[in-house]
Amino acid sequence: MTRKELFKNTLRKSVHAWKLINELPLSDDESLMLRHFMDQPGFLDLHWRMFVPAIKGQGTEEQKQKWLPLANKMQIIGCYAQTELGHGSNVQGLETTATFDPQTDQFILHSPTQTSSKWWPGGLGKVSTHAVIYARLITDGKDHGVHGFIVQLRNMDDHSPLPGITIGDIGVKFGNGAYNSMDNGFLMFDKFCIPRDQMLMRLSKVTREGKYVPSDVPRQLMYGTMVSVRQTIVSNASIAMARAVCIATRYSAVRRQFGSQNGGIETQVIDYKTQQNRLFPLLASAYAFRFVGEWLKWLYTDVTQRLEASDFATLPEAHACTAGLKSMTTSATSDGIEECRKLCGGHGYLWCSGLPELFAVYVPACTYEGDNVVLQLQVARFLMKTVSQLGSGKAPAGTTAYMGRAKHLLQCRSSIRKAEDWLNPAMVLETFEARALRMAVSCANNLSKFENQEQGFSELLADLVEAAIAHCQLIVVSKFIVKLEGEIKGKGVKNQLKNLCYIYALHLIHKHLGDFLSTNSITSEQASLANHQLRSLYTQVRPNAVALVDAFDYTDHYLGSVLGRYDGNVYPKLFEEALKDPLNDTVVPDGYHEYIRPLIKQHLRSARL
Ligand SMILES: CCCCCCCC/C=C\CCCCCCCCCCCC(=O)SCCNC(=O)CCNC(=O)[C@H](O)C(C)(C)COP(=O)(O)OP(=O)(O)OC[C@H]1O[C@@H](n2cnc3c(N)ncnc32)[C@H](O)[C@@H]1OP(=O)(O)O
Ligand SMILES: Cc1cc2nc3c(=O)[nH]c(=O)nc-3n(C[C@H](O)[C@H](O)[C@H](O)COP(=O)(O)OP(=O)(O)OC[C@H]3O[C@@H](n4cnc5c(N)ncnc54)[C@H](O)[C@@H]3O)c2cc1C
């Protein structure tokens, strides 16, 4: 499809989905499922995942009563317009202004520079009638920082932009199809007025007289919508990883190369240890991200209930966990999808493998909802704060509880003696805890050598990100272990999950061996025992690998991959797909008479001469 066709088709699908949700009707969970099967980014994502939650989280009761019924019935369509041409990560650096005019009781929204243009919001370019806009609030010449506002963008009769608003699509993005179904947009305000009651005022307020009343709760609650979406992105990482792994695993069982003596049957590529060493950790990651996603959903629900009761104690941890896990799982999944493409050899590069589009549509997850490095730095700040409070009497809780055992973890030596010890959950956990704590403490020690903490932080950014990743990996491993300790129906299933859990943990040890050795969390002998155990786990997973991806229960239609077909009938179907290509509509291609024939004839003539 052309971009215009793709966009229009996405509108058609979205509206059809909305119709089904209402007519059947579907529950929230079922609607979410429908979104997955629709399988295309579109304006509904931003309306439901960001616009509605922003009003719910930051609006007053009156604002919710006014706007939510309209939004819930989709009588208005909204998006989340925060990022600008000049600033995305640095939210405090946004330039759009919202200046209160006490004469008219309105805010005047303005884009003072080109870099202040809103740039990127999904659904903004062509669809949304409304947006939650983030802008600097100015009253009486004073800048109070960034706040949210509900703004109507387009005329409800003919969809034209309202006077004072310039709006459009930012253009084609990475890949063919992929995220181009979405109208990511730009927007400029030219002294555009909105009534005062359209500032989202649950947190801070502006009175009729123009007095600014600051929030009596943490101002970071304004970032709540991002926290909520980051949490869902972790579960989505598992879905995308599982999809790629399903394709690569099934195809690896079909594909044969080498290994035959005198014309016998060749080896299935899945039997090569190198293939297993690349593939099975990704299979394990798909399961691991699912379990940590379930736990994160619980954490998010818990913090939301606490916030409603004005208990803000766990907010920093919820922010660190959602930011860190969003970052870690999306980076691993993007890399994993690309690895799956390579695991499928040349055919993985074909569009009909399903992997190029999956990669193209998935990879912006490393950037949207917070650049992955910027988010790990938030985790690092949280860790440095926690380390600095050790010994102050305030015991670290939740995912940093292990830091409370700093004395032990800083000096303990791993008691792994034989390969099977690497299947001991306590020993594995302690190894990850020691590594994470030692990396965090080492950063804190290095930081303390700087007179200026912020300067020290800047200098140590790369180390801090590594410490943050180590902490996030510990969370994933620990939540997988907790899952195994819970009720799992069927001994066989439990055994398979156990194998995957230890593959996940041991492959991380192998991948980040430098960290584990340099922090003395393990010795090189213990590292080689871990490798030995890993190989043995691969052998145990091998006979069940295809069943473990079948368990994701993806239909062929959803996978959209010739290589990942359930029936394994890959080669005839590759031919069928090739023959569908428009280039094969004619035997002699368009352009032959114009370019190829004259070229060949010229050679023939010169040959005769
Ligand atoms: C064919 C295949 C198809 C595949 C389909 C797959 C199927 C998928 C199915 C469904 C998919 C649906 C998915 C939904 C998708 C939704 C689409 C998303 C679109 C993307 C939308 C966006 O990108 S919106 C814009 C997002 N922008 C950002 O994330 C900006 C990042 N920056 C920030 O968040 C902040 O600026 C910052 C955190 C980096 C820094 O903030 P600031 O400068 O204000 O703070 P400080 O560093 O000074 O910190 C102050 C203090 O506050 C704490 N803090 C910061 N943030 C938070 C927070 N959120 N909550 C709580 N506390 C916070 C910070 O830690 C500091 O604490 P101290 O104690 O003072 O240290
Ligand atoms: C597909 C897609 C959809 C989007 N949808 C929306 C939307 O609906 N609404 C919306 O408001 N926005 C949206 N965005 C914007 C998105 O949220 C931002 O692009 C994202 O937050 C990253 O910000 P940035 O572009 O400013 O990156 P930058 O911050 O400019 O990042 C550039 C580089 O600088 C590095 N960097 C930046 N700051 C630091 C630092 N402090 N320390 C170390 N390194 C740093 C980053 O790691 C990165 O390598 C979308 C983006 C994409 C790609």
Average pLDDT along the chain? 96
Which position among 339, 369, 430, 466 bears the catalytic label? Answer: 369
* 367 Cα nearest atom in ligand 1: 23
Cβ partners under 8 Å of residue 350, min gap 6: 356, 562, 574, 577
Please name the residue whose Cα sits nearest to atom 1 of ligand 2: 364
Among residues of the chain, what percentage have pLDDT more than 70?
99
Nearest CA to ligand 2 atom 16: 368
Which ligand sits closest to the CA of 307?
Answer: 1
- Report pLDDT digits (tens) over 176-207: 889 999 999 999 999 999 999 999 999 999 99
Closest atom of ligand 2 to CA, residue 377: 42
So what's the ipTM on this one? 0.96
pLDDT in the model for residue 608:
63
pLDDT digits (tens, 9 = 90+) for 443-471: 999 999 999 999 999 999 999 999 999 99
Residue 346 annotated as lining a ligand binding site: no
Residue nearest to atom 33 of ligand 2 (CA): 371
- For residue 608 the two structure tokens come to 């005769």
In the annotation, is 369 catalytic? Answer: yes
Q: Give yes or no for residue 609 having a pLDDT over 60.
A: no
pLDDT digit string (tens) for 79-96? 999 999 999 999 999 999
Q: Nearest residue CA, atom 24 of ligand 1?
A: 369
**Would you tell me how many other CB atoms lie within 10 Å of the CB of residue 441?**
20
Mean pLDDT along residues 48-77: 97
79, 246, 378, best to mutate for ligand 1 pocket (most atoms within 8 Å of CB): 378
Count of CA atoms in the C-beta half-sphere (13 A) of 384: 23
C-alpha distance from residue 151 to each of 51, 183, 277, 278, 360 (Å)? 11, 18, 52, 49, 32
Contact 132, 200 (CB under 8 A): yes
> Which is the closest atom of ligand 2 to the Cα of 123?
8
**Residue 122 among known ligand-binding residues:** yes
Is 148 touching ligand 2 by the criterion CB < 6 Å? no
pTM: 0.96
